[in-house]
Amino acid sequence: MAKLGPSGYSPYPVAMYEDILTPPPGKALLFNEIVDEEIAMREAAKAMLTRENPTIFPGPQVLYAWNEEAKEKARLVRKIAETLGAKIIPMYDYRPKYPKIDPEKEINPNHPNLTIWHNNIKACIFIGVHCHYANVALKIIRAETDCFTIAMCGNAGHEDAMITLRDQHTEELEKFIRVAEEVKKELGK
């Protein structure tokens, strides 16, 4: 018997239907397992350093200088991109971009799979995207692409990302940069 409701339309169930929930404070989610934050950071760095076309999708919370933390996070996102050799494709706002968007210049939150397919992105980081939009975009990416997704969330995290790091503020982003630099050396890059 087919599932009733919206979940019945997706060939892949959303994470919550698989009993995957966001991690508790101080922990991270690595696929369906709760792990120490540093373990997840290492795996995130490894994915971004070893997969094709790593890309960071920063959202309005870091793109706009609305407070001092946002300004510092934006600087750190650039440093993360440099460390990982990643492109940056911003998600400026959440309005649908119809009839056409330029997927090399921005990501459409309503169809993130189009940007991922067009750019052949195999690993990405969402950061500074409001949670309700990140949740929808990550569900679409999970069901429609083979992209390795990483959510660096300022709040509780996102269960549909392959790795979710919660409570990510400037101190945690600085830690991620240090971890990524270590992993990069270990990989000989």
User: pLDDT tens across 125-161, in order?
Assistant: 999 999 888 988 898 898 889 999 999 999 988 888 9
Q: Is residue 107 part of a domain?
A: yes
Q: Cβ distance 151 to 157 under 8 Å?
A: yes
- Domain of residue 72, residue span: 44-187
Lowest-pLDDT choice from 1-15, 47-61, 101-115: 1-15
Residue pointed to by tokens 């508790």: 24
Give the integer Cα–Cα distance in Å for 58 and 114: 17
- The pLDDT value given to residue 1: 47
Of all residues in the chain, the percent with pLDDT exceeding 90 is 60
State both tokens at 56: 């960071």
174: CATH = 3.40.50
Q: Is residue 38 part of a domain?
A: no
CB-count burial class (<10 Å; 0-12, 13-18, 19+) for 92:
middle
Q: Is residue 31 part of a domain?
A: no
Q: Is residue 121 part of a domain?
A: yes
- The pLDDT value given to residue 97: 64
The total of structural domains in the chain comes to 1
Confidence (pTM)? 0.87
Is the confidence at residue 3, as pLDDT, over 70?
A: no
Which residues, including other chains, have CB under 8 Å from residue 91's CB and lie 6 or more apart? 57, 58, 59, 60, 63, 106, 107, 109, 129, 133
Q: Is residue 1 part of a domain?
A: no
The per-residue pLDDT of the chain, averaged, comes to: 87
Residue pointed to by tokens 């050799």: 85
